Amino acid sequence: MAPHVCLALAGLLGKHGAFDLRFERCGRFPGVLYLAPEPDAQLRRLTEVIADRWPEAPPYGGKFTGIVPHLTIADGQDDAVLDEVEAELLGQLPFTSRVSSVVLMVHDGAKWRERASFALCELTLGSLAGDLVDGGVVGVEPSPVRGQYFQCAEAMSLLAVDQL
């Protein structure tokens, strides 16, 4: 991947905030067992912004018409194996996980490997004076919490709090 593409992805994804997902149930595609994340709107949105930026490279090569956010657990196994894995997994649900980055995975024909990781914006409570790094305020947006400020350090963006 060209360096300018990595930089573009980092800039595009860094504008989006980190979020939590809850996994309560399993789902299936043919030969695949996955966990279904809820809510899935933010995952759909991240996929859409990347697809909008690079329409020549649609999700999954354009093979599927819809976006189905999922966490693959097992792939290419017999249904009996998937049933066994699912039964064991169901006893460990639900759980919640924080999504703070997007990892670009590539398949070399035999296995998946991480190619790059892109941080999402992590909002933290701070003071206005402490949040201004080199005076770099990119954008200001309202928040419902009076008298507080939130900073996205990765994007150098200050979210100022509006009056209630």
| Residue pLDDT, tens place only, 23-76 | 999 999 999 999 999 999 999 999 999 999 999 999 988 998 889 999 999 999
Residue 139 to residue 132: CA distance in whole angstroms: 12
**Same-domain pairing of 83 and 68:** yes
Structure confidence at residue 122 as a pLDDT band (50, 70, 90): confident
**Same-domain pairing of 33 and 101:** yes
Q: Which domain holds residue 133?
A: 123-160
- How many domains does the chain fold into? 2
Is the distance from CB of 88 to CB of 69 less than 8 angstroms? no
**Same-domain pairing of 62 and 102:** yes
Helices (H) and strands (E) in the chain, counts: 4, 9
**Same-domain pairing of 154 and 78:** no
Give pTM, 2 decimals.
0.71
**Same-domain pairing of 67 and 141:** no
**Same-domain pairing of 111 and 138:** no
